[in-house]
A and B are shown apart, each in its own frame.
Chain A
Amino acid sequence: MLLIDLIRDELKLKGTKPGCLEGECGACTVLIDGTAVNSCLYLAINIHDKSITTVEGLTDGRTSLDEVQESMVNHGAVQCGFCTSGMVMAIKSFKDRCDSVNHVPDRDEIKKNLEGNICRCTGYVKIIDSAEALF
């Protein structure tokens, strides 16, 4: 069983999206021990003893939005939204990684880090803007 199937079909968490199931589009990105992973390329069994965060888990459910989510909303980084969960998780992972070593990335680095996530609506500009604003 693939991790994405465990998440969507067994745990019924539908925020993780099946865009291609071949590791190309990034819509199913989740965090495994804080690192962004395509859940369609990851066997569910390998999640044992690891921590997994899906888009639903970024906040405790009572507070409204995580800073990454907030930034995407405020920068107009969302259109159809099918890539959005994956984008949120990819940016979250990148932001945490940069913060842990006190690194402030430039725009090119941000673009490079979003390369694995495809969006067909926005032309990426406002997604990149929303990530840049976090630093």
Chain B
Amino acid sequence: MSYKIIGKPTPKLDAGDRVSGKSVYGHDIELPGMLHGAILRAKYPSAIIKSIDVSKAIKLIGVHCIITANDVDTENLSYRKDHPVLKKGEVNCIRDEIAAVAADTKKIAENALNLIEVDYEEKAGIFNPEEALKENAPRINQFSKGDNGNKNISESFHYEHGDLEVEKKKSAVTVTRRYTLPKVTHACMAPSNITADYSPINDVLTLYSSTQVPFLYQREISQVLKIDPSKIRVIQPIIGGGFGSKLDLHPFEPICALLSMKTGKPVQILFSREEEFHHSAIRQSMVIDLTTGADEQGNFTFRKATIIKDNGAYTSWGARTSFVMMQTFSSLYKVPACVYDAHAVYTNNVFAGSFRGFGNPQATFSLERNIDLMADELGMDKGEIRLINSNFPGEITGQGLEYKSCGLKPALEAVIKNSGYEAAKNGHGKSDRFKQGIGFASMLHVGGGAKIYPSDGCGTTLKMDPYGFLTILTGSSEIGQGSETVLAMMASEELGIPLDKIKVINSDTTIKPWDVGVHASRTSFVAGNSLLGALNKLKQKLGKRATQLFNTTEEDLLFQNGEIQSEKSGDSLKIDKVVRALHFKPPHELCEVSYFYEPSSKFQDKEFKGNVSGCYAFAAQAVEVEVDTLTGKVDVLNVHVGQDVGKVLNPMGIEGQIDGGVVMGMGYALSEEMIYEDGYLMNPTFHDYKLPTARDIPEIHFYPIETNEESGPFGAKGMAEAPLVPTPVAIANAVSNILGVEINSLPMTPEKVMRAIHDKKNGGEA
């Protein structure tokens, strides 16, 4: 099938505004009479609040309002309802919000915070989940439901398929290891921000928010503030990076709304970078105990995984990463038996959140390390063991995931072939000091949304005006990933009109149709399918009118070059002329249609079995690495990415996602870590929290695997989280291969690599 624009590199529609500084982000909003908000946080990670005195602060000139828990009536946040907006009586992590100020300027608001006197009685905190699980540990979160019979467990997940004992007996090799993954943060370039504008006249609360899930956000804010959701309007200004950080509703957001409601004025809260490090979402740390087996031929037999996650003091969507991790253990490669337990455990650390990949980088890290170790024990080739166990089209996994299309094997073959692995199999280097080698890893992720909410759908409304200009009103959100452009490309392809005649509107809950939000790599798939459904209706509407004008049938019509053409007669009419014929003459109809798309995915049952996504994405990576054995520095030279994307819609956009994901994975692998000591963050700056920079960038080679997923728009499936997932473990596998050591934790700092080299020399374990 040949397309006019689908599959062609297409610059982002909004790129011109971005490069010229014209885009309006949350930081750029200034409303008349706007006040500035600031939040007082806990001084200790665990303490009793004996008293709060705001009497001095409220007297400061320019201060309009101060709120504490005593001044507000709110419900708790989070899906476990365990997170108070403002904390009362106790604090449980250094993020805890105690009071908030609205003032004429940010400076005055900050000065007022310094005048608030809080009397604490400090308590010993619990910062290690293992400690929190002990029977004599105190209850950390007073709203904890105590899942799985333990007061400090927020939520536990248990999953199994197959007969573990039978499969164990078939195993020629069994590998058991513990993997330790750190806390890292999104470090979005735009720090968190919100502007709340409450009108006491009509009782409407307008929130200019960077949320990734505007409709869920509207609902949760309404519950938290106990107001009617239809009185809440969420407007998304341009969002300066998401990566999952904006899935959860954070306390600063209802706090800002409360300040606006109390003062009757617009209030803005902007985080400093330091606040962003301390108080925005993170990827949760976890310890994974994994045992895996394979038979003599290398066929995988079983997996047993037990995972302890640091939930922090409150629950976020991050606790639900268990859900995605489970899929990797149950269904990445063929495996006859799997037992999986994961526990999100309360501690006095900061609470987690969602982060691109949603638990999958951690799960994949452990699994792909174990696969390399099994290959070593079996004396098998590391490419071969993955190929013989590869998933395949038509497979229904033990968990019930249905792989109608599956490009894992071609992805593996592409990276094995192109990486020069065969030539470099045993590791080589340019000198004794610099050693080079290759590591592999694969991944499985949802590619067609994920049914975790009553609807995983998206609505689209289309409007074509009398000049032939199309407005796409989509429920989906743009967070920089390029969804607006991909949607406009689809419409251009279908209607035969140029991109500059298409506008995408997607940033206002009062206007746009419902959508569950931008997460789970779902937007191209779900919003794309929704758009195609709407385009089909629009074409029918235009086509019906055109058949009258041409005196032909709808099957005879072509939409191209801005015209509707009759294939038989060769007659044509400008598309706008048909719109005008529809509108200004009988039947006097607007050229507008709406469509709602709900993926075919199903809710999983109580045992977590069922086809949870519309389709599945697969990827394999081979990473060529050089280790400086004198300093321990790891250099990533080449990253080969084979990824089943279904169909490449916009090569420029997809490459951008691949590059960005791989580099984010490199940061997680090599340098990023939030270093906490007894609940306090030690490195809340870009100087001490090391993100990759331009000089760290390897050559990234992308081999798209086009499996033409039948349920996807033009055959496409979700792809944007995937590139991050295998990179860290592929690097760890490469470093382990090169040095003959075991790297079983992240990040692989030079210190850690040197220690591994040192320990190997001394005959110890890494």
By a beta-carbon cutoff of 8 Å, the part of chain A in contact with chain B is 13-22, 24-25, 27, 54-56, 58-59, 64-65, 68-69, 72-76, 78-85, 88, 110-112, 114-128
Nearest-neighbor residue (CB-CB) of B277 within chain A? A20
B187 near A16 with CB under 8 A, answer no
B16 near A64 with CB under 8 A, answer yes
As a 0/1 sequence over residues 4 to 36 of chain B, the CB contacts with chain A under 8 angstroms (1 = contact) are 000001011011111111111101100000000
Within 8 Å by CB of A20, from B241, B480, B686, lies B686
- Closest Cβ of chain A: how far from B422's Cβ, in Å? 27
Nearest-neighbor residue (CB-CB) of B654 within chain A? A76
B653 near A76 with CB under 8 A, answer yes
B693 near A118 with CB under 8 A, answer yes
As a 0/1 sequence over residues 381 to 403 of chain B, the CB contacts with chain A under 8 angstroms (1 = contact) are 00000000000000000000000
Query: Is B51 engaged at the interface, CB distance under 8 Å to the other chain?
Result: no
Across the interface, which residues of B come within 8 angstroms of A79, CB to CB? 12, 480-482, 656, 660
- Closest Cβ of chain B: how far from A44's Cβ, in Å? 15
- Closest Cβ of chain A: how far from B503's Cβ, in Å? 18
- Closest Cβ of chain B: how far from A112's Cβ, in Å? 6
A120 near B241 with CB under 8 A, answer yes
Across the interface, which residues of B come within 8 angstroms of A64, CB to CB? 16
- Closest Cβ of chain B: how far from A104's Cβ, in Å? 18
| Residues of B232-264 contacting chain A, CB below 8 A | 238-243
How many angstroms from the CA of A94 to the CA of B524 in the assembled complex?
37
- Closest Cβ of chain A: how far from B485's Cβ, in Å? 10
Within 8 Å by CB of A123, from B190, B273, B659, lies B659
How many angstroms from the CA of A19 to the CA of B695 in the assembled complex?
20
Q: A76-B656, A82-B25, A123-B663 are in contact. Are A25 and B686 (CB under 8 A)?
A: yes
Within 8 Å by CB of B655, from A84, A126, A127, lies A126
Across the interface, which residues of B come within 8 angstroms of A85, CB to CB? 19, 21
B18 near A78 with CB under 8 A, answer yes
Nearest-neighbor residue (CB-CB) of A54 within chain B? B21
B190 near A55 with CB under 8 A, answer no
Across the interface, which residues of A come within 8 angstroms of B664, CB to CB? 120, 123
Across the interface, which residues of B come within 8 angstroms of A124, CB to CB? 659, 663, 692-694, 697
Interface of A (DSSP majority class): loop
- Closest Cβ of chain B: how far from A52's Cβ, in Å? 14
**Size band of the B side of the interface?**
35 or more
Across the interface, which residues of A come within 8 angstroms of B21, CB to CB? 13-16, 54-56, 85
What are the 3 tightest A-B residue pairs by CB atom distance, in nearest-first order?
A15-B21, A80-B480, A81-B18
- Closest Cβ of chain A: how far from B272's Cβ, in Å? 7
Within 8 Å by CB of B695, from A21, A83, A112, A123, lies A112
Nearest-neighbor residue (CB-CB) of A84 within chain B? B18
Q: A76-B652, A79-B656 are in contact. Are A123 and B14 (CB under 8 A)?
A: no
Q: A22-B687, A120-B691, A124-B694 are in contact. Are A82 and B20 (CB under 8 A)?
A: no
How many angstroms from the CA of A6 to the CA of B518 in the assembled complex?
35
How many angstroms from the CA of A88 to the CA of B15 in the assembled complex?
12
How many angstroms from the CA of A27 to the CA of B14 in the assembled complex?
18
Across the interface, which residues of B come within 8 angstroms of A54, CB to CB? 21
Q: Sample 20 A-B pairs with CB under 8 A, ordered by A number.
A: A14-B24, A14-B25, A17-B25, A17-B240, A20-B273, A21-B273, A22-B687, A25-B189, A55-B19, A69-B16, A69-B19, A73-B12, A81-B238, A81-B480, A84-B19, A88-B19, A111-B695, A123-B664, A125-B663, A126-B652
| Residues of B692-743 contacting chain A, CB below 8 A | 692-695, 697, 700
Across the interface, which residues of A come within 8 angstroms of B241, CB to CB? 80, 82, 120-121
B11 near A115 with CB under 8 A, answer no
- Closest Cβ of chain A: how far from B25's Cβ, in Å? 7
- Closest Cβ of chain A: how far from B42's Cβ, in Å? 23
Query: Is B685 engaged at the interface, CB distance under 8 Å to the other chain?
Result: yes
Query: Is B186 engaged at the interface, CB distance under 8 Å to the other chain?
Result: yes
